[in-house]
Amino acid sequence: MKATTERYRTLGIKLTPQRLAILECLDGNKSHPSAEDIYKEVLKRFPTMSFATVYNTLEVLREKGGVQALTIDPDRMRYDPDTMGHHHLICQRCRKVVDVHSDVKVDIPEDMAHGFEITGSHMEFYGLCPKCKAKED
């Protein structure tokens, strides 16, 4: 946790006990949790913590580059503590999200780029996870 604390400290984020609990919940978390998921988890340790504290902390982290906000779930914003460039696999049934750490490139022809200088990309792949696929068979 010390390395994680230092990572967020270098972003200039004040580290209160409540924020540390939120950061612990995010640290190494591969489930791409929503603010509600994180709130439910940290509420176990801080029963008086408000949802606003969780949401505001996530927004500060997003603004400072400490998390990525993902709009891959139509029902809620999801957060990814892995800020290195990567893509996602998304189950259309259970909404499970899996990281894809592969250099998948798509070249956009210049006439379709509308003059944009492309500086990054994020691809989403949709389908059924193995668990949901097994239920279908």
Q: For 52-85, write each residue's pLDDT tens digit.
A: 999 999 999 999 999 999 988 888 999 999 988 8
This prediction has a pTM of: 0.82
Q: Which residue has the higher pLDDT, 130 or 7?
A: 130
- Res 46: pLDDT: 93
- Res 104: pLDDT: 80
- Enumerate domains of the chain plus CATH numbers: 2-80 (1.10.10.10), 87-136 (3.30.1490.190)
In whole angstroms, give the CA distance from residue 50 to residue 61.
Answer: 17
The answer to whether 35 and 51 are in contact (CB under 8 A) is yes
- Res 1: pLDDT: 63
Q: For 86-131, write each residue's pLDDT tens digit.
A: 999 999 999 999 999 988 878 888 899 999 998 888 899 999 999 9
- Res 92: pLDDT: 93
- Res 121: pLDDT: 83
Alpha carbon of residue 2 to chain centroid: 21
In whole angstroms, give the CA distance from residue 81 to residue 37.
Answer: 14
- Res 79: pLDDT: 96
Give the mean pLDDT of 30-45: 95
